[in-house]
Amino acid sequence: MNFPNVTVLIVTYNYGQYIGDAIESVCNQTYPQDKVEIVIVDDGSSDNTQALVKKYLEKKSNIKYYYQNNEGKASATKKGIELSTGDYLFNLDADDFYHPNCIEDTIQIYNNYPDVVQVSHVPNRWEVKNNVSIPQLHKHHYVNRSMIGIDLYRKSMFNGVTFCMGSCFSCRMSIIKSSIIMEDIDMYIDYFLFFYTLTRGRVYILNKVLSTFRRHEKAYSEGHIKYESTEIRTLRYLKSARAVYREVKVLFKDETDIVKRTYVDLLEHEISGIKYTRASRIILWIKYMKSILNIFYKYSNPTLYLIRGVKKSFYCFTK
């Protein structure tokens, strides 16, 4: 087997409680450690993250640590990519961890398919509160095969197929190094990395559980962060969603169905946004339902999406 150099990028913000597990999971890979570089970008943590990482820096020569003021996840990811020297980029959230064969099994796909630019795998979802783990294996036929990225996305996006991003994402470094990452993408940087590489060639979804992601109350996505209000968090996600939509319109400029679908997803965020009045949410919900009918009637049965629309309408009348 060919063992190219790889970079595991860990962006963190106040995850000192978990980042040790993330680092250890990379250090315990079956892949040769002299071929693995760990780049940690700390986006202004105020907890014990810096002190904890320092202990690893004293013991491990393959770890880079960069601290910056709190500028957002996209900014931190951009800096991490700039610091990376590997041939492949592996993304690892600071509160997740890899299984021992994650890197080796992924690189094997790149070795077998030289034209593949992105490889993802499926995770194990760990509900920390209930201590329940659920493997997220796919049951559709788009897995374990090389496919043109845009074709795969077009075929699957209207059939309820969930793509794996975040800690399940990897790509060829030469592809992502050429990207221009705007800082206002912020919390949706995972989407941007996914969409950008998707448009650059063939992709592969490896139907193996190679990582674990935690669902816990301290996760920003769960909305339980004490140092930031729900309204600020909502507005931040809305801004990030709009930025991703802007990039999608450029990346998929000739793929109107994909752009429209992204618009529907954006409207879902708008509807859920608490900064809007009830009347504003009703207007957005009407646009959302019209967009669903406009897109899905000619691709598949829209019943599933109409049900989602009805659920979203609940926010319009109760908030």
What string of DSSP letters covers 8-52?
EEEEESS-TTTHHHHHHHHHT-SS-GGGEEEEEEEES--SSHHHH
- 122 and 18 belong to one structural domain: yes
In a domain, residue 136? The reply is yes
Cα separation, 174 vs 249, in Å, equals 23
Q: Is residue 36 part of a domain?
A: yes
Residues 34, 149, single domain; the answer is yes
pLDDT value at position 235? 74
* Same domain as 185, residue 236: no
Same domain membership, residue 137 and residue 40: yes
Residue in 235, 241, 233 with CA at minimum distance from that of residue 185? 241
Containing structural domain, residue 89: 6-220
Are 77 and 161 in a shared domain?
Answer: yes
**Is 100 part of any domain?**
yes
Decide: 8 and 39 in contact? Cβ < 8 Å. Answer: yes
Tell me what pLDDT residue 75 has. Answer: 97
Domain annotation covers residue 1:
no
Given 192, 220, 248, the domain boundary residue is 220
Of 186, 220, 254, the one marking the end of a domain is 220
Q: Considering the domain boundaries, does residue 26 fall inside one?
A: yes
Structural domain tally of the chain? 2
Where residue 90 falls (left for φ over 0; alpha for ψ -120 to 50; beta otherwise) is: beta
Inter-CA distances, 156 with 153, 184, 261, Å: 5, 28, 12
Whether residues 145 and 85 fall in one domain: yes
Distance CA 72, CA 187 (A): 7
254 lies in some domain: yes
Q: What is the pLDDT of residue 129?
A: 84
| Residue indicated by tokens 């990519």 | 81
From 220, 242, 274, the end of a domain falls on 220
**Are residues 161 and 190 located together in one domain of the fold?**
yes
Does residue 193 share a domain with residue 129? yes
Give the contacts of 98 (CB within 8 A, at least 6 positions apart).
Answer: 8, 22, 25, 26, 29, 92, 167, 210, 211
Q: Are residues 208 and 266 in the same domain?
A: no
271: tokens are 């509807």
pLDDT of res. 269: 64
Query: Do 26 and 108 belong together in one domain?
Result: yes
**Does some domain include residue 156?**
yes
The answer for residues whose C-beta is within 8 angstroms of residue 25's C-beta and 6 or more apart is: 92, 97, 98, 99, 100, 102
> Are residues 215 and 233 both part of a single domain?
no
Q: Which of 223, 183, 209, 254 is nearest to 105 (CA)?
A: 209
Instruction: Decide if 284 is inside a domain.
Output: yes
Print pLDDT tens along the chain (319 aa): 799 999 999 999 999 999 999 999 999 999 999 999 999 999 999 999 999 999 999 999 999 999 999 999 999 999 999 999 999 999 999 999 999 999 999 999 999 999 999 999 999 999 888 888 899 888 888 899 999 999 888 877 766 667 789 999 999 999 999 999 999 999 899 999 999 999 999 999 999 999 999 887 777 665 555 545 566 777 787 788 889 889 999 998 888 878 877 777 776 666 665 555 566 666 766 776 776 666 655 555 556 666 666 666 665 555 5
Is there a single domain that holds both residue 282 and residue 163?
Answer: no
Residue 130: CATH number of its domain: 3.90.550.10
